[in-house]
Amino acid sequence: MLPTSARPLRYMVTIHPNLTTLDVKGQVTIDLHIEKETNFIVLHIQDLNVTEKAIVTPGPKGYALKIVKVLEFPPRQQLYIEVKEKLKKKSNYTLNLRWYSKLNPEPEGFYVDQYESSNGVERLLAATVFRPNGARRAFPCFDEPHVRAPFRISVFRDRFHIGLSNSIVHTTEDVGFYMGTGLLRDDFIETPALPADAVAWVVSDFQRESLQPSAAYIPTTAAPYSTGAGGKKSAQLNNYTQLKSKNPPVRNITALTHSLNVNLTPRQNLSQIAAAATTTTALPVSLNGNGKPTNLTSLSQSTGSSIKRAPSYTFYAPRDLLVRSSFILHTSRDVLEYLQTWLDISYPLTKVDFVALPSLDRNMISSLGLVTLKTSFLTDPSSITSEQYQFSALRIAEAMVRQFFGGITSRKVLKDVWLWEGLIQYLGIHALAPLQESWPLREMYLLKMATAALDIDAIQGWDSIMNGTSHDGKNEDFFVQKTAAIFSMLHTAIGEDRFRGCLGSFLKVNRFKTAEPTDLWTICTKKANGSKNIKDMMTLWTHQPGFPLLTVTKMGNSVSISQRPFRPADFLAIHDDSYDGNNYNKTSLNATDMPSTVPPTPQGKHKAAPHMKWIFPVTYVTDINNVSETLWMQNVDINFNVPENVKWIKVNAIQNGYYRVVYNDDNWANLIEELSNNPNRFSSEDRLGLLSDAFTLCHANLLPCEITMNMIQYLPSETNYGPMALALRHLEKWRRILKYSECFLMLSEFIKMKISTVMEKVGWTDEGDVAARLMRPEVLLASVLWEDIDSITKAKNMLNQYLYYNGSAIAPNLREVVYTGSILSGEYIYWQHCWERFVTLQRTSETFVERMQLLRALGRTKDAWLQNRLLSHVTMLPTEEVVQVLKAIAGTPTGGAMACRFLQAKWFELEKRLGPGTISFAKVISAITQYGATKFDYDELKSLVHRFGRGQGMSVLNMTLSSVASNVEWVARSQTSLYKWVESNLHSHRR
């Protein structure tokens, strides 16, 4: 917090960028309210040269106070201004500052970017990229998240550029008489109260495409118009849709000098825009997956919404990229309109603008009213995988959610980023799902967020959300994923209507204000039944580390459910070379008292608090009742009866809960029998959940591996993407861990036998519905990684046909399969082709996913010479690509030792490039070592951790150390029983 008693009431910021000299001149006027008498003001500034400053008293006869001291403190990016005369309590003053700076060449603050036009000419643009506490690099301000104020932005530009900001343009003035020939000034309408890092503006010569609201809504604004070149354009003095005005504000974006791209609306008369030479409009695209437009009118009626208006949507980019705007415009429109109806909250502005920036280092930055996105995000849908396409839609959906949660209401402190990011990720899925009913978005959520977070959380050392998240807002993805999963549980706890009512009330109460997590929990508690103390529930889940393991025991018609913290079995193998894990007491695996864990290294930063039992809803289904029942788990175990004829019970129905479940042996047996005989008796989410619990509990040595193996027997009958992908990804982890074990060859035969049946169903042609296109590459890639000869031959032949016989281009969904299979065939020409393809793609940023696929395939070769050749290029690659290469090489039988030797040899070079103690360096080490499965692997990693020293990356390495300890323990305990099970089942199958 800044040590000042001044609170900003309003900002007026004027920016004058010169794209020729890359200079910026600016002026900021801040209206201040003094809350406590003081004689100084402290605000933020970074890399700006202040040339003039004044503090003026209020009123028409206001005068400038004498400034006696001005100090800049670069370590904190602070500017201290002291005046001779006291600033009086409860009085208003105005602070005026003028400054100049250089446009930043990197995407940080106010920066300069460039792109190549269609005729090959390099063009320049200027844009803002504000990370938390990043606005201070663009203009002097109170740059802290808890400080919100309205902004009036003015931008100088020439006649051939356009200016964009959060709000719409109010007037455009010809200022050439006193500012320079051809200069215009865009004055934007005052924004609602925003934090400084939510302000945005762009100056470019981009073209545009626009889209009006769907038929369910009246457009908030009319189309742009102008009174003449360089003339003044008028509009209402605000652009809030909630204000009652006789005439809606006019959607003026630029001067008429940019009229070659005028947006047409059905209400316009063509004679009114005779000056326009061309017009671009977005092509209509259905978003609901069944070929019919989404019926927002019926949604509005079902929710009782009275919202009648919606904003317009405009996309800005170089002309050759406008053809790719339709997907973004229509997805954003459908999601935003769904959200404002679902939340019963009007979107507060009259427009949402999208601007493509070539050098942006993130896919999207969503500020209220203005979304900037990376140019490479605008990929041709026919050139990307189905998974990429769905993730692109999710990123757009999340950007629209951020317009509400982040735009209308924002976090009070940076530490609370976990709440906002987790809610945004969860609502992105929730808002897109009803608009794309044919997409398995719920399964994708479980794969990428819920079960992923549970698997990470199962590794020792993770702190609670509140203790583990950073005060600067830079957190591990795990905390965001866990938060999203907790919101899913909250959604289940209070129901759909109360959940959206809580979120809507939260936005209304904190409209254009900041808030804290407890503010949301309090509203949820009020909206829920009095018996459900949601505030206590959410406080426990965010303040307490880990998650519960539910032990479910069904005896006849009696069911008992108890909870305890999830803990893997004791790590004994890492301490004793002679330890034989197969001598464990099998009965202890399902016993009430779970073994305690001895962590390999102390992990927690905070002293462990006394454990309290979690509060959460428990849902379940049975074989005679497919409608889930809900019970509440609190301080006592649950005991209840089911009908006598119930054979099995499945807890955590639809996988809305953030917990693991272990059953007694009879219930496991009945669940497995049902899966084998009638897998569709369970929902796809429930099948995914059963597989996830079985694999994770097995790896934690809390479940015999025989149960997990019996469960995956049904996989040839699986038809859904989610359960199949989860099982194959866990088996791929087993492949890497067990590659040196005695049971590996027989396990490989068994897995190939199971996958071959599925391969016959999915085929090698990229066709079918979305789920089929998602599942096919998972199955085929698994088949080549487990080295199925027929699959490797098929992959090689497909690439051979394409390269030498004018065959069909490889479908994006099958590229990694074909690349990997061809390389595993052992023929050098295919490895060389993939390497040359990778080198070619390095010249463009629009092929990131294919580059990653190529690197993984190149690293999977079994040729040690080729692996060594690839390693010789590693140090020149970006960190993310280094990780892909090393992870792939370390996963091969011959590459593990080679990757470790490479790390030892290049340690100082990597440390110099990535930084000592950094997370990037730690991820490189983790990529090589994370699948270690022997005591030697564990000891070697410990020595690397010791050599690594201190730094932020230690958290990554400590987690890797725990993961390797878990691998060692699992292999020691399970490989003999796994060997016997596979041997028995292979023999019985052959007979």
Give the residue ranges of DSSP H helices in 224-324: 296-303
- Is the pLDDT at 217 greater than 80? The verdict is yes
Confidence (pLDDT) at 626: 82
- Is the pLDDT at 299 greater than 70? The verdict is no
Please, which pLDDT band fits residue 595 given cuts at 50, 70 and 90? very low
- Is the pLDDT at 562 greater than 80? The verdict is yes
Helices (H) and strands (E) in the chain, counts: 29, 33
Going by their DSSP bridges, the two strands 67-73 and 78-87 should be labelled as antiparallel
**What is the 3-class SS of 834-881, one letter each residue?**
HHHHHHHHCCCCCCHHHHHHHHHHHHCCCCHHHHHHHHHHHCCCCHHH
248-289 pLDDT tens trace:
333 333 333 233 332 323 333 322 322 222 233 333 333 333
434-464 pLDDT tens trace:
999 999 999 999 999 999 999 999 987 789 9
- Written as one string, the DSSP assignment of 250-270 is P-B-S-GGGGGGPPP-TT--G
Closest CA to 566 of 404, 421, 457, 668: 457
Mean pLDDT, residues 303-307 taken together: 69
Confidence (pLDDT) at 966: 95
**For a pLDDT cut of 90, what percent of the chain falls above it?**
73
152-192 pLDDT tens trace:
999 999 999 999 999 999 999 998 766 667 899 999 999 99
Residue 630 sits at φ, ψ, to 5 deg, of: -125, 130
Q: Highest mean pLDDT range out of 474-488, 592-606, 839-853, 875-889?
A: 474-488
Buried b (16+ CB within 10 A) or exposed e, 170-204: bbbbbbeeeeeeebbbbbbbbbbbbbbbbbbbbbb
- Is the pLDDT at 793 greater than 90? The verdict is yes
Return the sign of the alpha-carbon dihedral for residues 493, 494, 497, 500.
negative
379-399 pLDDT tens trace:
888 889 999 999 999 999 999
Q: In Å, what is the CA distance from 277 to each residue of 232, 250, 319, 505?
A: 21, 22, 15, 47
Confidence (pLDDT) at 269: 32
Please, which pLDDT band fits residue 541 given cuts at 50, 70 and 90? very high
pTM more than 0.95? no
All residues at 6 or more sequence positions from 861 whose CB lies less than 8 Å from its CB, including other chains: 823, 824, 831, 867, 870, 892
Please, which pLDDT band fits residue 674 given cuts at 50, 70 and 90? very high
- Residue spans of beta strands (DSSP E) within 6-108: 6-18, 23-34, 38-44, 49-56, 64-65, 67-73, 78-87, 92-102
- Residue spans of beta strands (DSSP E) within 569-615: none
Q: How far is CA 319 from the centre of its chain?
A: 29
336-350, 600-614, 948-962: least confident range: 600-614
Confidence (pLDDT) at 178: 67
**For a pLDDT cut of 70, what percent of the chain falls above it?**
86
Q: Is 73 exposed, middle or buried (0-12, 13-18, 19+ CB in 10 A)?
A: exposed
Q: What share of the chain is helix, strand, coil (3-state, %, to 5)?
A: 45, 20, 35
Residues β-bridged to residue 316 = 208, 355
Q: In Å, what is the CA distance from 795 to each residue of 383, 605, 704?
A: 19, 49, 36
Tokens of 521: 């929990």
Going by their DSSP bridges, the two strands 218-219 and 309-310 should be labelled as parallel
Q: In Å, what is the CA distance from 288 to each residue of 106, 236, 300, 378?
A: 39, 36, 16, 21
- Residue 320 burial (CB count, 10 A): 12
All residues at 6 or more sequence positions from 226 whose CB lies less than 8 Å from its CB, including other chains: 172, 233, 252, 255, 256, 259
- Is the pLDDT at 241 greater than 70? The verdict is no
Confidence (pLDDT) at 864: 93
Confidence (pLDDT) at 388: 93
167-171, 305-309, 334-338: least confident range: 305-309
Confidence (pLDDT) at 609: 63
More confident: 361 or 585: 361
More confident: 29 or 121: 29
All residues at 6 or more sequence positions from 875 whose CB lies less than 8 Å from its CB, including other chains: 882, 906, 909, 910, 913
Residue pair 248/156 in contact (Cβ under 8 Å)? The answer is no
Confidence (pLDDT) at 580: 58
- Residue 31 burial (CB count, 10 A): 18
Confidence (pLDDT) at 596: 42
- Mean pLDDT over the full length of the chain: 86
- Is the pLDDT at 408 greater than 90? The verdict is yes
- Is the pLDDT at 204 greater than 90? The verdict is yes
d(CA 214, CA 337): 8
Confidence (pLDDT) at 990: 59
Residues β-bridged to residue 555 = 558
More confident: 769 or 602: 769
All residues at 6 or more sequence positions from 944 whose CB lies less than 8 Å from its CB, including other chains: 903, 925, 929, 957
Confidence (pLDDT) at 951: 87
d(CA 679, CA 661): 19
Going by their DSSP bridges, the two strands 370-374 and 351-357 should be labelled as parallel
Residue pair 597/569 in contact (Cβ under 8 Å)? The answer is yes
Mean pLDDT, residues 633-651 taken together: 93
